[in-house]
């Protein structure tokens, strides 16, 4: 029991295991911190910054920052919530995110986090980038219009599927997810069952011919907001 590390998130005392990140410890304690690039099965990436918290007054990504005894973590302050909201608002205009006819709507983490953060209308001017789709694979459809560059597919393909199908190329606004072939997705060894496919939080990598099979009302985030599953395990309520 002496291995437990105690710290606070928004003044609530949390017990963590040594080596856990703040995000892992918060999840275990039933405290939801919004995130997009983080996934419990993947190595932390720290790129989307949506899980930003203040640790003893300094901004850190909760998904990469290890817990330490006695730290004060600030997560749900107005200042932090405003930061997160701004980050997600920028993601929405950087790509072409048309929730109204996207088949991922209702099951999309970007959309769900936006609702959770209280974003109900676009704030910034759309950039309308010209992005491509790759429909060449018999089972998988890639729509880069909806990619948020979270890198989950890159990590899942490497760490879980052992294939390394996806990789980032380009810099800045020109950065995109490429596939490890000269031409198209069908030339890679990607399979429909790969974790790289199911790890996509948005509608960028989709299994073909699924579409709108799940009716409105039965989708993942129709009944409860994202993070509700984590909060359900909270013990100090």
Partner 1 sequence: MTANKITIEPVTRVEGHGKVTIHLDDNKQVTDAKLHIVEFRGFERFIQGRPFWEVPVTIQRLCGICPVSHHLAAAKAMDIIVGVDKLTPTAEKMRRLMHYGQMYQSHALHFFHLCSPDLLFGFDADVAIRNVVGVAAKYPELAVQGVMMRKYGQEIIKATAGKKIHGTGAIPGGINKNLSIAERDEFLKDLDQQMEWAKGALKIAKDYTVENIGLAKEFANFESSHLSLIREDGAMDLYHGNLRAIDKDGNKIFDQVDYQGYHNYIAEEVRDWSYMKFPFIKSIGNEDGWYRVGPLSRVNTADFIDTPMAEEARKEFMAVTDGKPNNLTLAYHWARMIELLHSAEKIKELLNDADLQGEDLVVKGHRREEGVGLIEAPRGTLFHHYKVNEDDQVTMCNLIVSTTSNNEPMNRAVASVAKKYLSGVEITEGLLNHVEVAIRAYDPCLSCATHALGRMPLEVSVIDDSGNVLDRKSTR
Q: Tell whether residue 209 is a contact of partner 1 (CB under 8 A).
A: yes
Of residues 218 and 235, the one with the C-beta less far from partner 1 = 218
Give the chain's count of helices (H) and strands (E): 6, 10
Cα gap 233→89, rounded to integer Å: 29
Q: Tell whether residue 223 is a contact of partner 1 (CB under 8 A).
A: no
CB of 234 to partner 1, least distance (A): 32
Q: Tell whether residue 212 is a contact of partner 1 (CB under 8 A).
A: yes
Nearest-10 Cα torsion for 118, 147, 151, 233:
30
Q: How many residues bind partner 1 (CB under 8 A)?
A: 18
Q: Tell whether residue 172 is a contact of partner 1 (CB under 8 A).
A: no
Of residues 70 and 217, the one with the C-beta less far from partner 1 = 217
- Residue from 93, 214, 220, 230 in contact with partner 1 (CB under 8 A): 214
Candidates 78, 148, 70, 76; CA nearest to 111 is 148
Q: Tell whether residue 128 is a contact of partner 1 (CB under 8 A).
A: no
Cα gap 107→214, rounded to integer Å: 10
- Residue from 213, 223, 235, 236 in contact with partner 1 (CB under 8 A): 213
Of residues 168 and 212, the one with the C-beta less far from partner 1 = 212
Cα gap 121→49, rounded to integer Å: 21
Which residues, at least 6 apart from 150, have a Cβ–Cβ distance to it below 8 Å? 36, 37, 45, 47, 48, 201
Q: Tell whether residue 120 is a contact of partner 1 (CB under 8 A).
A: no
Residue 206 near residue 102 (C-beta atoms within 8 A)? no
> What residues make contact with partner 1 under the rule CB under 8 A?
100-101, 103, 133, 135-136, 141, 208-218
């Amino acid at each position: 029991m002496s291995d437990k590390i105690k710290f606070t998130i928004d003044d609530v005392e949390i017990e963590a295991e040594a080596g856990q990140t703040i995000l892992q410890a918060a999840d275990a304690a039933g405290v939801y911190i919004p995130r997009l690039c983080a996934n419990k099965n993947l190595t932390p990436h720290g790129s989307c910054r949506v899980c930003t918290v203040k640790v003893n007054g300094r901004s850190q990504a909760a998904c990469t920052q290890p817990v330490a005894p006695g730290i004060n973590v600030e997560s749900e302050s107005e200042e932090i919530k405003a930061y997160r909201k701004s980050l997600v608002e920028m993601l929405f205009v950087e790509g072409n995110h048309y929730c109204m006819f996207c088949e991922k709507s209702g099951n999309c983490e970007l959309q769900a986090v936006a609702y959770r953060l209280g974003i109900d209308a676009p704030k910034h001017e759309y950039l309308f980038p010209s992005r491509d789709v790759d429909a060449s694979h018999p089972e998988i459809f890639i729509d880069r219009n909806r990619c948020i560059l979270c890198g989950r597919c890159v990590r899942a393909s490497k760490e879980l599927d052992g294939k390394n199908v996806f990789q980032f190329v380009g810099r800045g606004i020109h950065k995109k997810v490429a596939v490890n072939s000269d031409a198209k997705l069908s030339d890679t060894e990607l399979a429909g069952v790969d974790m790289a496919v199911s790890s996509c939080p948005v509608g960028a990598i989709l299994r073909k011919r699924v579409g709108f099979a799940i009716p409105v009302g039965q989708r993942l985030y129709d009944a409860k907001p994202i993070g509700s599953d984590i909060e359900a395990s909270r013990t100090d309520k």
